[in-house]
Amino acid sequence: MTTVLVIGGGIGGLTVAHELAEDGVDVTVLEATDRFGGKARSMPIDDGPAPLHGEHGFRFFPAFYRHVVETMARIPDGSGTVADNLVETEATLLASTTGPDRIAETRTPDSVRGWLEALRPAFSDELPARDVQFLLERLAYLLTSCERRREEELDDVTWWEFADAENRSRAFRNRLASTTQSLVALRPQAASARTMGTIYLQLLFGQLDPTRPTERVLNAPTNEAWIDPWLRHLEALGVDLRPNTAARSLSFDGRRIDGVDLADGATLSADEYVLAVPVDVAPTFVTPDLARAAPELGRIERLETAWMNGIQFYLSVDLELSPGHQVYTDSPWALTSISQRQFWTGYDIDERGPDDVAGVLSVIASDWTTPGIVYDKPARECTREEIATEIWAQLRAHLRGAEPRLTDDALVDWFLDPAIVETDDGVENRSPLLINTAGSLRNRPPADVGVENLTLAADYVRTNSDLASMESANEAGRRAANAIRRRHRIRPSARIWNLEEPVVFEPFKREDGLRYRLGLPHPAEVTQSLRSITARLGGRR
C-alpha cells in the first residue's frame, strides 16, 4: 500500500488526506499545533464546558468557490453533509462615516433594473460618471485579454497602474484602496492587476449566475460546522491525524525525499511527502540541495505576506446590521464584519459562555500599517488591548445609526486571533497571509515540483483560484493528490475547475491571443494611449 506523509493540517493538507484516503492510500497528517484547520479553524475561548468560539476570521464562500464546496458535500454530518451548513447571504452593508450607508444586494437579480444595478461597481454612486465608465472599460479589457497576456503582462502591472488611479478622482482612489484592502489585505499600489481584476470579475459574475448562490456563510463556528466533522470522517477513512507533531526538516538524497525529521528528534518515512505548511514556513524546509533540484521551491521565499486577522466582539445585544457582510468604507484599518447570530442557526449562543451574550460581531482588520483614530499608530505597533479598543472605536464611528445602538455597555467580551502575539515593539503576526503582488505569479510553485516524491498543497501554489484562500488551498490539495495518483497509477483524479467567464468574450480573447503572439498591444491599450495624449494636449490649451 502506498504511504503518504502530509506535513501541515490546514485546508490543503486535509484535502490531500481526504482525496487519497478515499483511494485506500495510507495517509498520516502531521500538525504542529493542537488544532487542525489552519487559518480556517475556530477555537473555544475558554476551558468551560460550553465555551463560545473565536476565529482567525469569519468564513465566506462566494459563488466561484467550487473545489472546497464539493469537498464539503462529501463530508457526512448528521443526516446530511457539511455543505448543508452553508447559508446564503442577502445583502452587504457599505457603512460610511462621511455619507449615507448603502445596501448592496448579494442575491441574483430578478428584474432588469436589478441586473443593471448589479453590473455597476458597488461604490459607483460616489464617483464621477467618467470614472465609472473608465473602470468598466478596464474590466472589459481584462475580459477580452488572452491568458498569456494576463499572466505575462498584466501580472506585472499593479491594480493602481492598470486602473490609472493617479489620473482619477480622489473618491475613485479612496474606494479602489478600501475595496482592495478589504478583499485581500493588499494595497492597490502593490496588487497584481491580473489577480485583482480577475477576482473582482468573479465576484460580479457570481451575483449574475442564477445556478449558484452569490455567497454563503456557515451556520455555526467553523470547527463545529465543518472542521470537526471533517476530522471525524478522515479518521473513519483511516487517516492518522497527529496534532502537536512539528516537523523540522526534510531529508533529501539528491533525487527524492527519504524522511521527515521531527522536532522531538524522531524520523518518519513514507513513499510520498506533501508539504502543506504556510508560505512563511515553507522556506525553512527548502535546503540548497532541494532548491537546486526544484528551483520553484527556492522562489517561495520571494513571495510577500500581509496581515489579515480577526477579532470577535461578544455583545449583550443581537446587532444584525445586514443579512450578509458589512464593509466599513472609511475605516483606517480596512474593517469588514459579519453579525453572526442570524446565521448561526446550528449554534445556541444562549447556552454558551457568559449568560448576557446575545450577539457576536466577527470583524477582520486588513490594514495593519495605517494609524488609527484613537491611538494614532498602526495596529502592528499596538498592544492586543489597544487593537481591540481601536477596532471597536472604528466600528462605532461607522455604526452611529445602527439599532440597537453599538455602545460600550453592549460589549461583554472580545477575542483576538491568538496568532497576534505581543512583543516589546507592538505585536507580531504568526499567521500572515500570502498577497498577490505584481509579478508574484512567477514565484508561485506548482503542486507537482521537480522532486519525484514531493508535492505541495497550500494557498501559495499556482491554482486557477489564484487568490490566497481556503478555495485555493483546497484546489492545491487536489492537484497534489492528482500528482501522487499519476505516479502510482491510481484512478480517478480529483476534478479541477477553471474560473468561468462569459463565453461571449471568447472570440475577443482568441483575437488578442494572436495579437499577443505578434507582439501587438491589446486594442484597449491603444485606445487608452490615444485618450491620454488627447487629455494632455487639451490640458495645454
In the predicted model, what is the mean pLDDT of residues 2-18? 98
Residues 113 and 95 in one domain: no
Q: Which of 431, 454, 475 is the last residue of a domain?
A: 431
In the predicted model, what is the mean pLDDT of residues 159-167? 92
Strand intervals (E) in 309-386 = 309-315, 325-328, 335-339, 359-365
Residue 510 in domain:
no
Q: Which of 185, 208, 231 is the last residue of a domain?
A: 208
Measured in whole angstroms, how far is the alpha carbon of residue 116 from the centre of its chain? 28
Q: Which residue type does 160 have?
A: W
Residues 163 and 268 in one domain: no
Q: Please give the residue range of the domain that contains residue 469.
A: 1-34+243-304+440-500
Residue 232 in domain:
no
3-state DSSP call for residue 281?
coil
307: which residues sit within 8 A by CB, 6+ positions away? 185, 365, 366, 368, 379, 380, 429, 432, 433
Residues 141 and 129 in one domain: yes
Angle at 57 between CA 51 and CA 63, to 5 degrees: 120
pLDDT greater than 70 at residue 451: yes
Residue 54 to residues 26, 355, 432, 509: CA-CA distances in angstroms? 33, 17, 18, 45
Residues 339 and 448 in one domain: no
Residue in 232, 241, 238, 234 with CA at minimum distance from that of residue 78: 232
pLDDT greater than 60 at residue 112: no
Measured in whole angstroms, how far is the alpha carbon of residue 186 from the centre of its chain? 12
Residues 83 and 115 in one domain: no
Strand 26-30 versus strand 240-242 pairing type: parallel
Q: Which of 18-22, 182-186, 357-361 has the lowest mean pLDDT?
A: 182-186
In the predicted model, what is the mean pLDDT of residues 161-190? 82
Scored b (16 or more CB within 10 A) or e, 70-104 reads: ebbeebebeeebbbebbbbbebbbbbbeeeebbeb
* Confidence category of residue 528, pLDDT binned at 50, 70, 90: low
What's residue 541's pLDDT?
A: 40
Count up the domains in the chain and report the number: 3
Residue 16 in domain:
yes
Task: Return the higher-pLDDT residue of 419 and 180.
Answer: 419
What's residue 338's pLDDT?
A: 95
* Confidence category of residue 527, pLDDT binned at 50, 70, 90: low
pLDDT greater than 60 at residue 534: no
Residue 486 in domain:
yes
492: which residues sit within 8 A by CB, 6+ positions away? none
pLDDT greater than 50 at residue 530: no
pLDDT greater than 70 at residue 526: no
Q: Which residue type does 224 have?
A: E
* Confidence category of residue 537, pLDDT binned at 50, 70, 90: very low
What's residue 304's pLDDT?
A: 95
Average per-residue pLDDT in the chain? 90
Neighbours of 332 (CB within 10 A): 19
Residues 325 and 384 in one domain: yes
Per-residue pLDDT of 427-445, as tens digits, reads 999 999 999 999 999 999 9
pLDDT greater than 90 at residue 266: yes
Residues 285 and 408 in one domain: no
What's residue 125's pLDDT?
A: 60
Residues 174 and 114 in one domain: yes
pLDDT greater than 70 at residue 116: no
pLDDT greater than 60 at residue 397: yes
Q: Which of 406, 431, 456 is the last residue of a domain?
A: 431
pLDDT greater than 50 at residue 251: yes
What's residue 437's pLDDT?
A: 95
* Confidence category of residue 115, pLDDT binned at 50, 70, 90: low
What's residue 32's pLDDT?
A: 97
Residue 64 in domain:
yes
What's residue 540's pLDDT?
A: 42
Residues 79 and 156 in one domain: no
List the CATH number of the domain containing 381: 3.90.660
Residues 472 and 390 in one domain: no
What's residue 110's pLDDT?
A: 65
Tell me the percentage of the chain whose pLDDT exceeds 90: 72
What's residue 109's pLDDT?
A: 65
Residue 144 in domain:
yes
pLDDT greater than 80 at residue 179: no
* Confidence category of residue 233, pLDDT binned at 50, 70, 90: very high
What's residue 111's pLDDT?
A: 60
- DSSP for residue 322: S
Residue 511 in domain:
no
Residues 169 and 190 in one domain: yes
* Confidence category of residue 63, pLDDT binned at 50, 70, 90: very high
Phi and psi, residue 178, nearest 5°: -65, -40
Residue 140 in domain:
yes
Per-residue pLDDT of 119-161, as tens digits, reads 555 555 667 888 888 888 999 999 999 999 999 999 999 999 9
Task: Return the higher-pLDDT residue of 347 and 78.
Answer: 78
- The verdict on pTM exceeding 0.85 is yes
Residues 336 and 312 in one domain: yes
List the CATH number of the domain containing 252: 3.50.50.60
Strand 3-7 versus strand 272-275 pairing type: parallel
Residues forming beta bridges with residue 167, ordered by sequence position: none
In the predicted model, what is the mean pLDDT of residues 278-287? 97
